[in-house]
Structure 1
């Protein structure tokens, strides 16, 4: 079997910004002294006159981005998720969200797969925080293809967008001719009739692998990739729940306030269904190799398989 191509979505972000800069002169990229890690350094090298390093001052970064947006430019404010959503929440809420400014936030190093940086940098709360801001679009791409498409779609969208990217290289699963990215539209990756697995970000590829293992046990799992958590593809979620009768959500994020909560909100109102939420339980992460942490916190293919199998039985 040939080796699966793996790319970190933070790399995809840097590459996509550079390509976007070639096509659109109104793109401005801002960073908070992390250009090498967030990969915005690629854009800086290509367009130094359109790159602003705001230093280790993330709240100010968001204020500067807001100001630039009022001039008609399209700023991409970039830093780690812990700082973009956590430290600068007030500025994102009041300076970007409240006036509905056209700012795009590129948040890298999200989730436990940040690895050795440990619990202080492993942001498992950012989706929950950003979901609460009125009008904020929240995107969590699953691979390189989707991340690049998300950056392009964010530019085209008028209004604030939060994009979540990872540090760990993940398999490329969307490299097919018929792939289409559309904000607010989920993607059915596998049909099934016994249970629906709805995943976002890093665990999408692992969920697909888990579905293959389940098939060997006679459990036919539908797999849906939800790259846009807000606005959620309610129609797809409800239809899948009605079709299979059981739903499992999988996310590299707290089970409180993230994809699982968004799905449960919709199903409780439109199609009450039994739901299992797989994600980071009410706990902090810890320092360690990213792959080992993904396994320890139950987001690898074997763990997802075991949990879904038990849920179905």
Structure 2
């Protein structure tokens, strides 16, 4: 009888340890950027990503100039960055010529904007923008508190106006597009989730068919790439391998966190004009 009790106790201890390991593994595999509900004009939320390793914890509070932001009208956006104690973060490192980058994307990923709020002091950033149509938009703020790592924080806002149908998010049949007189072809070393890969844009002049070699620095680099999954849960802001390149190739390295549909926006500058080339891909 004693041997049976000892055997049972040992089995229970093993099961308890296994359960604890499973919970620890689940926490480790959580998506870096988590979402909370934050819909409505003042329904902002905070979620941070990327600053934990540096030991600097920050959060962002979002407010808008109107209680009901409307499509086609200028909307003011205020982002207040604070530390764990709720005190304003006063100093930020410059990241590609700016203290903050703000990505604005519609829920169906059809609208994209990359703007730069101005730091008014004491961790308060302000910017105005026009939302082109009604619906839900995700706002993603990138910044680096002084001495800390890169941080991404996001919020949702609902824009009032005539009901607009959401466009279906579907992969492009071809990875060649012409935008603002530039023909861009996107290629990958090997497209697969959870693996670092090369992401390359080949750029040619749409009229002359000649390779482009006169790209200008955009925010201090040959270009920038923003990537968002179809469910908006996975966000990547990618910088080039060779920042001083001028074309015809602009090369990047990135890792898609998991399989699924992703939209990719390549941002470049030529002749003083910025142009954006979007592609939607299905990552195995």
What TM-score do you get using the length of structure 2 for normalisation? 0.28
Name whichever structure is richer in helix by fraction: 1
Larger-Rg structure: 2
